[in-house]
Amino acid sequence: MDKKLALITGASRGLGAALAEELAAQGWHVIAVGRTLGALEELDDRIQAKGGSATLAALDITNDDAMRHLCRDIHDRWGHLDLWAHTAIHAPPMTPADHVMLKDWDKCVGINMRATGFLLTMIAPLLAAAADRGTALFVDDPVASGKFMGAYGASKAAQMALARAWAAESVRTGPRVLVEPCAPMPTATRARFFPGEDRNSLTPCRQEAARLVQLLAQDQD
């Protein structure tokens, strides 16, 4: 396959889906990972309607065995990845820090922290095998702190700390690791924290995805 390969974790909706569409429109083959098969199939329909191509993987990123098999399948089929865009995130209900339920802490830790660290170890060799050093993209959230966001903010901060450490460690050896803050978008995550917000005033996910893809291209020049 001559197309560049992008793995997007959290591709069912929001920024992940928009990134998948934008990359596919620019000639990439997208491996779209998400828990909701119906949403992935709708994404695939939109990609194919514009002449793009995608491989769908309806998986839970916290399932270690499933993600191991996926990475092995990528290795066996293509031998490398050019891009990993990690957009999967969990936002629990807003609550005071001393009222966070254990199940919400566990889910935040499992998705936002543990899964990120585990996937890093599985995907790093695939990025290293790319002809032109692969790239990992992590999305920072400037509003991931404040009142009633303790569980989300703490787990997101841990995810960003890991990504920034990897970025510093990989400057000379690769892969490229980009940690990029994004404009406020009308995503389901943001709606949890700002339910009364005028969503028309937010940056469309597709617009932000186009900016990120342009940033990726500039980084490779």
Mean pLDDT computed over every residue of the chain: 94
The pLDDT > 90 percentage for the chain reads: 84
Architecture of domain 5-220: 3-Layer(aba) Sandwich (3.40)
Q: What is the number of other CB atoms lying within 10 angstroms of the CB of residue 139?
A: 25
* Edge-to-edge strands, sheet with 135-140: 53-58, 29-34, 5-9, 83-86, 135-140, 176-181
Could you read off the pLDDT of 99-132 as tens digits, one per residue? Answer: 999 999 999 999 999 999 999 999 999 999 998 8
**Does residue 221 carry a pLDDT above 50?**
no
Task: Give the residue extent of every domain in the chain.
Answer: 5-220
Higher-pLDDT residue of 207, 193: 207
**Does residue 219 carry a pLDDT above 80?**
no
Of 27-41, 98-112, 205-219, which gets the smallest average pLDDT? 205-219
**Does residue 156 carry a pLDDT above 70?**
yes
Confidence (pLDDT) at 220 = 57
pTM: 0.94
Confidence (pLDDT) at 1 = 62
Give the largest CA-CA distance in the chain. Answer: 52
**First CA to last CA across the chain, in angstroms?**
22
Cα dihedral value 36, 41, 42, 45, nearest 10: 160
| Residue bearing tokens 């329909």 | 45
- Tell me if 115 sits within 8 A of 65, measured CB to CB: no
Q: Which of 104, 107, 54, 61 is nearest to 86 (CA)?
A: 61
